[in-house]
Chains A and B, each alone.
Chain A
Amino acid sequence: MKRYLIIGVVMATLLAACGDGTDTSTTAGATDTTAGATETTAGATETTAGSADTTVAAVGGMEELIAAAQAEGTLTTIALPHDWCGYGTVIEGFKTEYGLEVNELDPGAGSAEELEAIDANRDNPGPQAPDVIDVGLAFGPQAVEQGLIQPYQVATWDEIPDDAKDPDGYWYGDYYGVLSLEVNTSAVTAPPAEYADLLDPAYNGQIALSGDPLTSNAAILSVWAAGLATGATGVEAAQAGLDFFAELNAAGNFVPIDGDSRTVGIGETPILIDWSYNSIANDVNLAGNPDIETIVPEAGRIAGVYVQAISAFAPHPNAAKLWMEYLYSDAGQLGWASAFCHPIRFEAMSAAGTIPPEVAEQLPSTEGAFFPSIEEIEAASAVIVEGWPSVVGVTVEPSPSGG
């Protein structure tokens, strides 16, 4: 009887451990509610801060802005890894150009954490409060809703495509990449060119997504892209994507793991669907051991946009505005482009001939890429998240022959 008791306690503790984890997230939920409550105050501050000077002209011209920023002395950024889209060189360039200090917070943070950092430092103008953020497209409107960002329109505002910016200037697209097939060519001698090729038996057990479609945005877009490649559009393409992955899974080509540059590099998942810039950067980092090829399919070419915004509670609002002016100047845009990210002004700059050919050459082709709107992404996500477990998840189980 004693042994039963001990085992019972052990088992229950295992379960209780689950309960513990959930507990923490409740606390997070509670914080959220507080955020909602203070929202009104945030909105009020925003209008005061924002109404006066939402363009460089309103500040009094570039020289005024530079002087005001230099008086503030520092810019606080968050979630900018130096190997991501060339942020290392971009930040260095900004420092040299204007002589400001850059205080870099948590380079590894995700979009949601960036918003949380603003939220948590509403009343704290210290070094922990970010001035500027760089988040996934869907987080722009969310930040507006929570009253976390203030509007600003850079001098090159008109060259940012309309569907990649908020009409009121709260957030604005900064760079984008296209979903591509990241292929380890030392493991895959005949790489696929299109999503449809992935069904080839030659790719048995080789293809992975860069995340779980139930939790990762890039993975959801990958499923959608495969559906768009069949010629379907919108929500139907989301369903077509699910069907495609069900087929890929039934064929045994799909590996249900969370792939990344590492799994591609060692050959565990020699084909990964991921952002073009991650794929090219991986190739550069691995330096030929093994060779990584970045293949951008013609069909179902889909772009993913990140957006910049200034915190509604920025302790250094002028430094933040100057940072935006720098990022959207030719120099800033080329900084991203040199690290394989398409700057948002790519079309305009190409037309003006301000992108050096050697930089343009190494960017993957985004010709004809589909730039989904936030509403379209949300509609497709809903279908994919709903359908993934039953369409693909359940049948992740191949025939028992392997056991």
Chain B
Amino acid sequence: MGVLPFFLFSGMFLIAPAIILAYRSLEGPDGTLTLDNYRALTSDTVVAAYSMSVRISLTTAVLGGVIGFFLAWAVSMGGLPGPFRSGLTTFSGVASNFAGVPLAAAFIFTLGRVGVVTALFELIGVDLYGSGFTIYSYWGLSLIYLFFQIPLMVLVMLPALDGLKRDWREAAENLGATPGQYWRRVALPVLLPSILGTMILLFGNAFGAHATAYALTGGLLPLATLLIGQQISGDVLNNPGLGYAVAMGMVFIMALSIFLYSVLQRRSERWLG
């Protein structure tokens, strides 16, 4: 009985939509069953959108993962005073949930062509846009995604770093290991599944993002999520079946990353769980 809310929730918001999605992706414009939508997934447009989505997700997962890890490391064992840690976790809690339209607007107002930070840079003689930078680009969007990716990494990595037992370090030192050897041989191997697992989480986080990119560019960057919107609501393209098929492709990629995540998670639980 206690699990009823869980099954109700997952049934309504996960299983039922997934089944509808799968069914509709097999439907042609005239309502007959067809594989055409899946054949259309190999068209240049769709491949380009997937490719951009995957690359931007990889970029921000790796960069966000590395930067986030070092931040978490700095406050957990880097010897920074206590307030730094509580400050960072509070900020991370807020920032990791700061996405969508407000995030895009915040970046336009600060780093846009006429943004405050852009203007400040101009004051000290640095012409950001003149040197080729623009937030309306691959790297611009990556930068914006990093704003929520890094904090998410911090939040997930902190408990893992705290899980490193002081005994292991002492044992290594007693056996004559240098700090470098301790990190390479003990700490990193223990942490690696967590680090990679969280990076996969970040990948999924960026891969499914829609509102931020839409608010920033109005759909002109070719991302898989934006392509679905164009197929479903556009006046010009309007092929919902293809939209569903693109969404199914995303489900597949997400499922793959969740699978990888669960494998890595199981490994990291051996030591840190």
Binding site for B on A (CB under 8 A): 1, 3-4, 7-9, 11-16, 18-23, 25-26, 29, 33, 110, 112, 187, 204-206, 209, 211-212, 214-217, 220, 252, 255-258, 266-269, 381, 385-386, 389-390, 393-394, 396-403
Contact = CB atoms under 8 A, between A and B. Distances in A.
Interface in B1-20: 10, 13-14, 17-18, 20
Given A9-B14, A204-B130, A214-B230, A396 B235 contact: no
A10 B228 CA distance: 20
Contact of A215 (B17, B235, B254, B269): B235
A133 to B, nearest CB: 16
A13 B230 contact: no
A390 to B, nearest CB: 4
A389 B222 contact: yes
B44 A390 contact: yes
A401 B132 contact: yes
Nearest to A11: B204
B10 A256 contact: no
Contact of B250 (A15, A268, A385, A401): A15
A143 B24 CA distance: 28
A215 B261 contact: no
Interface in B219-234: 219-222, 225, 228-230, 232-234
Contact of B45 (A110, A390, A400, A403): A390
B208 A11 contact: yes
A20 B113 contact: no
Nearest to A23: B20
B220 A402 contact: no
Contact of A21 (B113, B230, B232, B234): B232
Interface residues of B, number: 67
B131 A402 contact: yes
A14 B208 contact: yes
Contacts of B230: 212, 214-215
24 contacts: A3-B265, A8-B258, A11-B208, A14-B208, A15-B250, A18-B228, A18-B247, A21-B232, A22-B21, A22-B228, A22-B232, A23-B17, A26-B24, A212-B218, A212-B230, A216-B236, A220-B236, A258-B218, A266-B114, A268-B114, A389-B45, A389-B48, A397-B138, A398-B132
B262 interface: yes
Interface stretch (B34-42, B77-85, B164-172, B237-245): B237-245
B236 A258 contact: no
Please indicate which of the listed interface residues A1, A220, A398 has the most CB atoms of chain B within 10 Å of its own CB: A398
Given A18-B247, A394-B222, A385 B236 contact: yes
B236 A268 contact: no
A257 B218 contact: yes
Contacts of A214: 219, 230, 234, 236-237
A112 to B, nearest CB: 6
Contacts, number: 180
Interface of B: 10, 13-14, 17-18, 20-21, 24, 31, 44-45, 48-49, 51-52, 108, 112-114, 128-134, 136-140, 142-143, 201, 204, 208, 210, 216-222, 225, 228-230, 232-237, 240, 243-244, 247, 250-251, 254, 258, 261-262, 265-266, 269
Given A11-B204, A389-B48, A256 B24 contact: no
A393 B53 CA distance: 13
Contacts of A206: 113
Contacts of A3: 265
Contacts of B210: 18
* 8 residue pairs, one from A and one from B, having the closest CB atoms: A258-B218, A402-B133, A19-B17, A215-B234, A256-B220, A403-B139, A397-B138, A393-B222
A215 B20 CA distance: 25
Given A4-B261, A21-B232, A23-B20, A15 B222 contact: no
Contact of A7 (B48, B134, B140, B261): B261
A168 B258 CA distance: 60
Given A22-B232, A214-B219, A402 B140 contact: yes
A386 B45 CA distance: 8
Nearest to A391: B44
A389 B220 contact: no
Contact of B232 (A25, A211, A258): A25
Nearest to A252: B132
Contact of B138 (A13, A268, A398): A398
Please indicate which of the listed interface residues A22, A394, A396, A397 has the most CB atoms of chain B within 10 Å of its own CB: A22
Contacts of A386: 45
B142 to A, nearest CB: 7
Given A9-B10, A215-B219, A20 B17 contact: yes
A147 to B, nearest CB: 20
B10 A22 contact: no
A214 B233 CA distance: 11
Nearest to A214: B230
A355 to B, nearest CB: 33
